[in-house]
Structure formats: C-alpha cells, structure tokens
Amino acid sequence: MDLPGPDCWLNPLVRVGRSAIDGEGLVATAPIARGEVLSRLGGRLVTDAELRDLLTEAARTGTCVDTLSLHTDQNLVLPAGAPQHAGNHGCDPNTWWVDPCLVVARRDIIAGEELTLDYATITDDPEFAVECSCGSASCRGRVTGADWRLPHLQAAYGPHWVPVLTERIAVPEP
Ligand SMILES: [Zn+2]
C-alpha cells in the first residue's frame, strides 16, 4: 500500500459542526453522492507498543490520540487538531473505507446529515470498547474491538475494513 502522508485531508463539503450523536461531528454542507471521497487520513506510523505508550501518556494528561489499525503491529496516529477527530461512530454508518486511509460515502448523503463511520471497522484492539446510542435501528449499544468477528457486520461491510481486519476476515484464525 502507499504510505499515508503526514496530514489529513477533508472534503471541503464537510465541516465540523454540532452532532446529534455526541458533541461535535462531521457534517455534510451539501448533498454528497455515494462513492465520493470524503476524507483521506495521514499521520505517523507507530507500533502497538508505541501506541500503548501514547495512550497511557494521553490518559495521564487528559488529551486524546486519534488512531487506527493498519496492519499487524502498525497503527496510524493522526496529527493533533485533525478535523477527523470530530468524526463519530454509527452502527449503520453512511461512510466506509475503500483504501487503508480513504473514506468514501457508503450511500447518498443529504445536506446537513452527519457523517458516521463504524469504529469496529477501524481497530483490532481487543480492549477497545465504547457505549453507543447512535439511534440507528441496528444500534449495537456497545462497540468493541472484537465486533469484526460478527458475521452480520462482515456481510454488511464486505471489504470495507482497515487492512488488518480485512486480512483476518479473509483468513479465519485456526
Ligand atoms: Zn449505535
């Protein structure tokens, strides 16, 4: 794969705004067609051990680390202040991955609609877990780093996971 660049890019039709889900979110300012590129992530690559240190330090200082799993023992850490930080999880998201660092519209999006991404498609961290009240009919209530094992999610998302999870789904563990 191409290595991610140092910075994130956000489609100019998307801005950070008030979220119906939680605090701030990413909101479409105009209609966006299915398949349109919304976001390209960049940052720096760290190992799992380096990421654990960053998360420990962030917990100590009350800051936040935006990260996703790319490959085994390889994680992307977004630059501080990236607008993608505001992106919220949704259990029936309107965006998904088409490439390790590229997010596109999963369906047509109307102006004013909030963009969501299923966090389960982002991380292979078995300790990751957040409560969810996204309001979708298929809300799981709790999102975890093990949700990629759920057959109905594998069927719904096809190849639209971060690479490490796409690989795991394609080659089940013995
Ligand atoms: Zn939900």
Question: How far does the centroid of ligand 1 lie from the alpha carbon of residue 121, in Å?
Answer: 13
Question: How far does the centroid of ligand 1 lie from the alpha carbon of residue 150, in Å?
Answer: 15
Enter the pTM of the model: 0.90
Question: How far does the centroid of ligand 1 lie from the alpha carbon of residue 115, in Å?
Answer: 13
Question: How far does the centroid of ligand 1 lie from the alpha carbon of residue 6, in Å?
Answer: 31
State what percent of residues in the chain have pLDDT above 70. Answer: 97
Contact 77, 54 (CB under 8 A): yes
Question: How far does the centroid of ligand 1 lie from the alpha carbon of residue 119, in Å?
Answer: 10
Single out the residue of 84, 41, 50, 81 nearest to residue 63, CA to CA: 81
Higher pLDDT, 2 or 59: 59
Question: How far does the centroid of ligand 1 lie from the alpha carbon of residue 5, in Å?
Answer: 31
Return the DSSP state at 126: T
C-alpha 125/C-alpha 174 separation (Å) is 19
Tell me the pLDDT tens digit for each residue of 88-116. 999 999 999 998 899 999 999 999 999 99
Average pLDDT over residues 54-65: 92
CA distances from 151 to 31, 154, 172 (A): 32, 5, 12
Question: How far does the centroid of ligand 1 lie from the alpha carbon of residue 95, in Å?
Answer: 14
C-alpha 106/C-alpha 85 separation (Å) is 20
120, pLDDT greater than 90: yes
The tokens of 57 are what?
């330090």
Name all domains of the chain by residue range, CATH numbers in brackets.
9-169 (2.170.270.10)
C-alpha 14/C-alpha 29 separation (Å) is 6
Higher pLDDT, 70 or 105: 105
Tell me the pLDDT tens digit for each residue of 145-169. 999 999 999 999 999 999 899 999 9
